[in-house]
Amino acid sequence: MPSANYRTLLRTPGAAAFFLTACVGRVGLAMTGLGIVWLVHARTGSYGAAGLVTGCFAVTDALAGPQLGRLVDRFGQTRTLPCTVIAHAGAVALLVTGAVPDPVAGALVGATLPQISAFAAARWSALLHDGPDGALPRAYALESLANGLSFLAGPALVSSAGAAGHPRLGTLLAAALVVGGGLALAAQPRTAPPVEGRAARQGAGRALLSPAFGRLVAVTLALGVFFGAQQVSIGAYAVERGTPDLAPLLYAVSNCTSLVGGWLYGLRKWPLSPVRQRTAVCAALAVVVLPLTVLDAPLPIAVCLALTGLAVPPLLILFSLLTESTVPRAVLTQAFTWGGSASAAGVAVAGALAGRAVDAGGAHGGFAVSAAATVGMTLISGWRGGRLG
């Protein structure tokens, strides 16, 4: 069975333990932002206030993530994770109790959020760097699957708690999962990446300023714009048709095929280099998004969204692979966190851009922002020394 490849991967000593504990924390991460929305809205009765606090959370998460990654590269996961999750628990307590203004508490929650996906990716790199050929891409495909499932299960748990009249419960459960998963991960030093010596760290940060890594971050930023624009545009399309209930179905189509795309990518070794794979997938994504700017019928739109779902996980997997091969190990965790921050920044920018585009030209205008992002990703990925190739 093809899934045996994944089972073999998880039989690597220590792999299953850190993967499962990271999954626990990942579900908590996926719940945190939406949990804040439910909590603040219940307290204030205002979605505007909830949006402001969530925005503060997202901005500080994006800004603090790479700094936390830098500390982890310097001192190691085992030493930094306990401090981070304890600080996060304190920030959540301030938010839940209302001891400080909600925007301040939201900012503190974001600033202390542990970057568990980046920590897990760094562990896979340390574990499989000299392992069998094809093992590391498969590990990152497994990470993609775990992230996808977390962002399906986490928001559903928060929404269920909020709809049942317990808006605090979602935030508290999210914090419990983040803290529990983070502490369990810290308790596994066997698979934690070793801290590089001073000589290895000296000058390693310059790799984060290299054109190759800059291109990686730029592609991920554009991918975030695509994500954010799609979220706005799908909702706008459903509302325009007078069928708002259609939006969750369209989201589900894309999310489910995304899981399939990540699983399929990890089952085989691909003949093209990772850089050429990235350019090819970016171009394929652009081809299937462009029709969304003119299509009107739900079925063709659902087909295009299903195809976009297949294309996204390989891009995330390739970001991890190319990051791992581009930067020194002394700054690897920080490099992984820059990807998450770039994607989050892209989503934030897209919210404003796509919103204006929808106001001006309807859902097709929003999809045009998505299409422009994918074309930009293709051009950035394919640019080589002053030419495309």
DSSP letter at 388? E
- 201-224 pLDDT per residue, tens: 777 888 899 999 999 999 999 999
CATH label of the domain that carries residue 55: 1.20.1250.20
Q: Which residue has better confidence, 357 or 202? A: 357
- 231 & 168 share domain: no
- Residue at which a domain ends, from 175, 195, 215: 195
- 274 & 332 share domain: yes
Residue 202 falls inside a structural domain: no
Could you tell me where the DSSP H helices lie in the chain?
A: 4-10, 15-44, 47-75, 77-97, 102-111, 116-128, 135-163, 167-186, 198-201, 211-240, 246-265, 274-289, 298-326, 332-382
| Separation between Cα atoms, residue 209 and residue 66, nearest integer Å | 14
Give me the number of domains the chain comprises.
2
- 136 & 261 share domain: no
Q: Which residue has better confidence, 201 or 332? A: 332
- 146 & 54 share domain: yes
Residue 293 falls inside a structural domain: yes
- 243 & 114 share domain: no
Structure tokens at 155: 């928001």
- 26 & 80 share domain: yes
Residue 7 falls inside a structural domain: no
311 to each of 13, 113, 222, 230, how far by Cα in Å?
A: 31, 28, 14, 14
- 189 & 169 share domain: yes
Residue 4 falls inside a structural domain: no
Residue 200 falls inside a structural domain: no
351, 51 contact by CB (below 8 A): no
- 149 & 64 share domain: yes
- 25 & 109 share domain: yes
Instruction: Please report which confidence band the pLDDT of residue 197 belongs to, taking 50, 70 and 90 as the band edges.
Output: confident
pTM to 2 decimal places: 0.89
- 217 & 253 share domain: yes
- 177 & 212 share domain: no
Which pLDDT score, from 0 to 100, does residue 387 have?
52
Q: What range does the domain containing 319 cover? A: 207-388
Structure tokens at 186: 């810290």
